[in-house]
């Protein structure tokens, strides 16, 4: 018998090993085994088993699998199927895909202890690495242990050695209220955490840390003797929730719930919940989850990492009244393994986590929820480059369960899937609290300067409307947020008379200006032109290059409105969570009344007394060379608009732009994506972009620019003659150099995805071997085109 084995660093070609006699009847696909690799022993995964040796290497030269890893199956059939699909789909070697789906440290025996139960009811607990030592008293074989773990006469658990393991936080009890007040003045997040501690009494340390997002604040609380840290039962503390009140669903919500349940009863299907923030989507996920749990199945919730707040987790726990495994990036290795084991053993039936939680070893999955489906955080930007949302749909298909996607600003991709009937859909149009959406004004920057009642001395990027609204806001003791949606590129070029921006005639993406050669370049296809002096649209001489940032806007605001107190929020002004916390607290406590920042201001925080949101120059986002910029801009604008009017007073949003008729900007007024989507879908169809084609981006980087480009030519040549496909490039990447390396890219648009995939897979081993000084990466369905 022969086994194909995927190793951590192997490419697509599997390694073939002989299966020794004692493992023949146990091994299955998806099992982890120990194999010899040169002079070492490595862990690998069985990807195929066969009676025939098809490796091309004579049998006597093949080596034997050494042993079985005791904790098997590492992947059950469904998960194995999902991962092999992903490996194929994302052109990612199976080993890389499989290994990234388990917690790191899972193969380190010293991480585990094992409890062995004997027939005479003796019980022995021993470190796993000691168990296999030659001279140990209880020495058993790996295979014996595997059998015992399978039949329940042995249990694995994580050895807790780390000081942080099992640490919980509680209030000291005898704290000085004055002191708390003084401290929380400085860091408002503390209020939240203390409130939460009063409610729950104890919290796992990691949860507190993820809430504070900065260890220094924790240290401060500890030193001021406000909290105590002790070791405790993490699970008990997680359980200390009170049952949430039961909410009566409105009609829209009831219909949505019914649709989900109908699918659930019939098996696989994707249902989309399209509803504004606050319309009760989460309420529906939770209600549907209850039904799933009652039927004995489990539930997987995916949320963007930023949504993994203790409040949201608490809400899930108190609504479902059961234990929940939370998988977030702040977990230590052993905590991660512990959660993994709990899920694998069926001790928890609800898992909440960011994108990698898609790999959670839940059994009998009854529903997968992907909240904020449009969020680009679901895409992993390093190998393996999978998209958690798309994997969720595939997993649902394999598990035969319902997948629920939700968002207030669906991706164009999903809207297309709804339109073509691939997804069913429910809409939630009413906000549960009946709060109206803020009023949105789109102000044309070219027009506003021509009016008669001009305010003197305003720079072009502060319109009269915005200026007056800012003054009003401050006079009424309210607060404003100003967003400058700058991303990546400093120099932005447009005609300030008519708003014209330079786009590639073929790709319809924005050309990037290269200063040293005065050239405009398309980073998809390589098209380039000289920067003209005269606007091709209106023939004026108003083509302007400008680069300005939040700092400049802040100075201008201070000068124009002396009574303003500003605070800045961008990567330059806040380099760590501590600064971030400080900036936010200055604004929420009222030390500042205008918050000026990059897109960072659109996310997360809740400021009730913000009544004005101003977007300085919406067009800035459009200068990013990416065919999805319009879609992203609309999502960003809707998100930042949602910051206005959360409290008792209604809000106002002013969006300044040179392109007031840009569909993505116009659509913010109604907040409805449909109209925009129909325009955008026509554009995408004409230009052969997704969802009408699939795209694959091949990137190369090397200190040798020529080599980096040459490697991509190999791929291009191999793909020539392919029908219903376009291969653009190679061309320099928009971000041309990172450190010393030059970056190039090749963009493939195709409907022949399987052909492309096979061609690429066949090329990769040679390319890697022959051009080891060039690093090549393949991104299927890329979201980030820089």
Binding partner of 682, given Zn ion, ligand ADP, none, CB within 5-8 angstroms per partner class: none
Q: How far is the CB of 626 from Zn ion (least distance, A)?
A: 12
Name the residue nearer to ligand ADP (CB basis): 433 or 720.
433
- Residue 135 burial by CB count (10 A; 0-12/13-18/19+): exposed, middle or buried? exposed
Binding partner of 322, given ligand ADP, Zn ion, none, CB within 5-8 angstroms per partner class: none
Q: Give, as ranges, the residues between 690 and 729 that touch ligand ADP (CB under 6 A).
A: none
Q: How far is the CB of 279 from ligand ADP (least distance, A)?
A: 4
Count the Cβ atoms, other than its own, within 10 Å of residue 364: 14
Binding partner of 495, given Zn ion, ligand ADP, none, CB within 5-8 angstroms per partner class: Zn ion
Binding partner of 247, given Zn ion, ligand ADP, none, CB within 5-8 angstroms per partner class: ligand ADP
Binding partner of 282, given Zn ion, ligand ADP, none, CB within 5-8 angstroms per partner class: ligand ADP
Position 361 contacts ligand ADP (CB under 6 A): no
Q: How far is the CB of 408 from ligand ADP (least distance, A)?
A: 7
Among residues 279, 409, 478, 588, which is the contact residue for ligand ADP, using CB under 6 A? 279
Q: What is the largest CA-CA distance in the chain?
A: 97
Q: How far is the CB of 124 from ligand ADP (least distance, A)?
A: 49
> In which element (H, E) is residue 237 found?
helix 234-239
Contact 703, 740 (CB under 8 A): yes
Position 785 contacts Zn ion (CB under 5 A): no
Q: How far is the CB of 521 from Zn ion (least distance, A)?
A: 9
Binding partner of 710, given Zn ion, ligand ADP, none, CB within 5-8 angstroms per partner class: none
Any idea which residue has 């897979």 for tokens? 761
Among residues 112, 314, 527, 676, which is the contact residue for Zn ion, using CB under 5 A? 527
Strands (E), 584-666: 594-597, 610-615, 652-657
Position 494 contacts Zn ion (CB under 5 A): no
Binding partner of 281, given Zn ion, ligand ADP, none, CB within 5-8 angstroms per partner class: ligand ADP
Alpha-carbon gap, residue 167 to 218, rounded angstroms: 13
Name the residue nearer to ligand ADP (CB basis): 375 or 781.
375
Burial profile 566-592: b = 16 or more Cβ within 10 angstroms, e = fewer: bbbbbeebbeeebebbebbbbbbeeeb
Q: What is the 3-state secondary structure (H, E, C) of 395-438?
A: HHHHHCCEEEEEECCCCHHHHHHHHCCCCEEEEECCCCCCCCCC
Tell me the number of residues near ligand ADP by CB under 6 A. Answer: 15
- CA–CA distances in Å: residue 757 to residues 32, 543, 694, 715, 779: 27, 43, 11, 11, 11
Binding partner of 307, given Zn ion, ligand ADP, none, CB within 5-8 angstroms per partner class: none
Tokens of 186: 């400085």
Q: Give, as ranges, the residues between 727 and 756 that touch ligand ADP (CB under 6 A).
A: none
Q: How far is the CB of 305 from ligand ADP (least distance, A)?
A: 17
Position 275 contacts ligand ADP (CB under 6 A): yes
Position 627 contacts Zn ion (CB under 5 A): no
Alpha-carbon gap, residue 182 to 163, rounded angstroms: 30
Q: How far is the CB of 314 from ligand ADP (least distance, A)?
A: 12
Position 254 contacts ligand ADP (CB under 6 A): no
Q: Give, as ranges, the residues between 395 and 434 that touch ligand ADP (CB under 6 A).
A: 432-433
Position 445 contacts Zn ion (CB under 5 A): no
Position 544 contacts Zn ion (CB under 5 A): no
Binding partner of 280, given ligand ADP, Zn ion, none, CB within 5-8 angstroms per partner class: ligand ADP
Alpha-carbon gap, residue 76 to 254, rounded angstroms: 35
Alpha-carbon gap, residue 783 to 785, rounded angstroms: 6
DSSP assignment of 516-555 equals GGTEEE-TTT--EEE--SS-TTT--S-EEEE---HHHHHH
Binding partner of 279, given ligand ADP, Zn ion, none, CB within 5-8 angstroms per partner class: ligand ADP
Q: Which region among 81-89, 205-213, 280-288, 628-636 touches ligand ADP (by CB under 6 A)?
A: 280-288
Position 306 contacts ligand ADP (CB under 6 A): no
Among residues 62, 109, 430, 538, which is the contact residue for Zn ion, using CB under 5 A? 538
Position 164 contacts Zn ion (CB under 5 A): no
Alpha-carbon gap, residue 632 to 431, rounded angstroms: 23
CA-nearest of 340, 315, 310, 314 to 325 is 340
Position 141 contacts Zn ion (CB under 5 A): no
Among residues 281, 328, 652, 749, which is the contact residue for ligand ADP, using CB under 6 A? 281
Contact 244, 314 (CB under 8 A): no
Position 304 contacts ligand ADP (CB under 6 A): no
Q: Could you give the residue ranges of the DSSP H alpha helices within 90-188?
A: 94-100, 128-131, 142-151, 177-186
Q: Which region among 108-116, 194-202, 477-485, 515-523 touches Zn ion (by CB under 5 A)?
A: 515-523
Contact 115, 424 (CB under 8 A): no
Count the Cβ atoms, other than its own, within 10 Å of residue 20: 14
Alpha-carbon gap, residue 455 to 465, rounded angstroms: 10
Q: How far is the CB of 273 from ligand ADP (least distance, A)?
A: 8
Q: Give, as ranges, the residues between 224 and 253 that touch ligand ADP (CB under 6 A).
A: 247-250, 253
Q: How far is the CB of 285 from ligand ADP (least distance, A)?
A: 8
Q: Which region among 69-77, 228-236, 456-464, 519-527 touches Zn ion (by CB under 5 A)?
A: 519-527
Any idea which residue has 């697509």 for tokens? 12
Q: How far is the CB of 607 from ligand ADP (least distance, A)?
A: 17
Q: Which region among 193-201, 449-457, 521-529, 691-699 touches Zn ion (by CB under 5 A)?
A: 521-529
Binding partner of 187, given Zn ion, ligand ADP, none, CB within 5-8 angstroms per partner class: none
Name the residue nearer to Zn ion (CB basis): 432 or 538.
538
| ∠ Cα 298 302 308 (to 5°) | 115
Burial profile 515-533: b = 16 or more Cβ within 10 angstroms, e = fewer: eeeeebbbbbbebeeebee
Alpha-carbon gap, residue 680 to 415, rounded angstroms: 11
Q: ω into residue 279 within 30 of 0, thus cis?
A: no
Among residues 183, 341, 535, 655, which is the contact residue for Zn ion, using CB under 5 A? 535
CA-nearest of 38, 44, 43, 33 to 68 is 33
Count the Cβ atoms, other than its own, within 10 Å of residue 26: 14
Among residues 5, 325, 504, 696, which is the contact residue for Zn ion, using CB under 5 A? 504
Q: Which region among 286-294, 488-496, 683-691, 733-741 touches Zn ion (by CB under 5 A)?
A: 488-496
Among residues 143, 175, 498, 560, which is the contact residue for Zn ion, using CB under 5 A? 498
Name the residue nearer to ligand ADP (CB basis): 374 or 486.
374
Position 283 contacts ligand ADP (CB under 6 A): yes
Contact 85, 164 (CB under 8 A): no
> Which residues share a beta bridge with 529?
520
Residues lying near Zn ion in the complex (CB under 5 A) are found at 495, 497-498, 500, 504, 506-507, 522, 524-525, 527, 535, 537-538
Residues lying near ligand ADP in the complex (CB under 6 A) are found at 247-250, 253, 275, 277-283, 432-433
């Amino acid at each position: 018998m022969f086994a194909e084995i995927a190793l951590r660093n192997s490419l697509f070609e599997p390694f073939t090993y002989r299966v020794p006699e004692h493992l023949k009847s146990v091994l299955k696909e998806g099992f982890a085994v120990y194999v010899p690799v040169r002079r070492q022993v490595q862990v690998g995964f069985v990807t195929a088993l066969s009676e025939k040796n098809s490796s091309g290497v004579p049998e006597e030269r093949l080596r034997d699998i050494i042993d079985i890893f005791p904790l098997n199956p590492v992947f059950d059939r469904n998960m194995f199927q999902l991962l092999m699909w992903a490996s194929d789909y994302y052109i990612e070697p199976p080993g890389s895909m499989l290994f990234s789906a388990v917690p790191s440290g899972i193969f380190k025996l010293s991480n585990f202890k094992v409890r062995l139960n004997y027939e005479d009811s003796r019980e022995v607990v021993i470190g796993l690495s000691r168990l296999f030592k030659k001279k140990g008293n209880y020495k058993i074989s790996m295979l014996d242990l595997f059998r015992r773990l399978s039949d329940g006469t042995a249990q694995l658990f994580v050895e807790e050695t780390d000081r942080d393991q099992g640490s919980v936080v509680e209030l000291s009890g005898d704290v000085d209220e004055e002191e708390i007040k003084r401290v929380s003045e400085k860091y408002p997040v503390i209020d939240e955490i203390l409130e939460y501690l009063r409610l729950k009494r104890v919290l796992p340390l990691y949860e507190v840390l993820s809430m504070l997002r900065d260890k220094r604040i924790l240290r401060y609380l500890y030193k001021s003797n406000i909290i105590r840290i002790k070791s405790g039962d993490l699970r008990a503390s997680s359980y200390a929730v009170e049952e949430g009140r039961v909410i009566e669903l409105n009609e829209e919500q009831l219909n949505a719930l019914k649709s989900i349940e109908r699918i659930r009863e019939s098996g696989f299907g994707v249902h989309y919940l399209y509803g504004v923030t606050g319309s009760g989507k989460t309420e529906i996920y939770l209600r549907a989850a209850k039904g799933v749990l009652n039927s004995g199945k489990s539930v997987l919730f995916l949320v963007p990492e930023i949504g993994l707040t203790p409040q949201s987790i608490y809400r899930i726990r108190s609504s479902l009244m059961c234990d929940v495994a939370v998988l977030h990036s702040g977990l230590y290795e052993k905590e991660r393994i512990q959660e993994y084991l709990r899920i694998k053993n069926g001790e928890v039936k609800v898992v909440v986590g960011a994108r990698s939680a898609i790999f959670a070893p839940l059994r009998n999955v009854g529903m997968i929820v992907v909240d904020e489906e449009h969020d680009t955080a679901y895409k992993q930007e390093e190998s393996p480059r999978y998209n958690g949302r798309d994997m969720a749909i595939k997993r649902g298909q394999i598990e035969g369960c319902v997948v629920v996607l939700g968002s207030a600003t669906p991706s164009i991709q999903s809207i297309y899937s709804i339109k073509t009937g691939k997804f069913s859909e429910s809409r939630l149009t009413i906000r549960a609290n009946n709060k109206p959406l803020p009023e949105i004004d789109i102000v044309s920057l070219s027009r506003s300067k021509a009016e008669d009642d001009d305010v003197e001395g305003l720079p072009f990027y502060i319109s009269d409307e915005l200026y007056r609204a800012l003054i009003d806001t401050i006079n009424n003791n309210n607060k404003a947020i100003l967003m400058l949606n700058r991303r990546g590129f400093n120099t932005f070029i447009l005609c300030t008379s008519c708003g014209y921006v330079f786009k590639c005639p073929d790709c319809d993406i924005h050309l990037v200006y290269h200063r040293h050669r005065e050239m405009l370049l398309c980073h998809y296809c390589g098209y380039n032109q000289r920067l003209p002096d005269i606007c091709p649209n209106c023939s004026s001489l108003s083509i302007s290059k400008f680069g300005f940032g939040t700092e400049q806007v802040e100075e201008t605001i201070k000068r124009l409105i002396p009574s303003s107190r500003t605070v800045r929020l961008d990567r330059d002004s806040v380099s760590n969570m501590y600064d971030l916390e400080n900036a936010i607290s200055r604004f929420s406590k009222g030390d500042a009344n205008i918050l000026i920042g990059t897109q960072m201001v659109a996310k997360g925080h809740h400021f009730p007394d913000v009544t004005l949101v101003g977007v300085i120059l919406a067009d800035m986002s459009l200068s990013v060379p990416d065919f999805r910029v319009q879609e992203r801009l609309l999502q960003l604008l809707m998100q930042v608009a949602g910051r206005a009017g959360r409290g008792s007073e209604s809000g106002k949003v002013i969006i300044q732009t040179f392109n007031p008729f840009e569909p993505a900007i116009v659509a913010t007024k109604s907040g409805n994506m449909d109209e925009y989507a129909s325009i955008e879908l026509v554009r995408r169809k004409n230009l052969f972009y997704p969802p009408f084609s699939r795209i694959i981006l091949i990137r190369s980087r090397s200190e040798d620019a020529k080599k980096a480009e040459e490697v991509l030519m190999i791929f291009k040549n191999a793909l020539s003659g392919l029908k219903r496909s376009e291969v653009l490039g190679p061309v320099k990447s928009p971000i041309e150099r990172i450190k010393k390396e030059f970056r190039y890219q090749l963009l493939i648009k195709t409907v022949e995805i399987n052909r492309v995939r096979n061609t690429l897979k066949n090329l990769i081993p040679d390319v890697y071997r022959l051009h080891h000084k060039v690093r090549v990466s393949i991104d299927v369905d890329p979201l980030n085109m820089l």
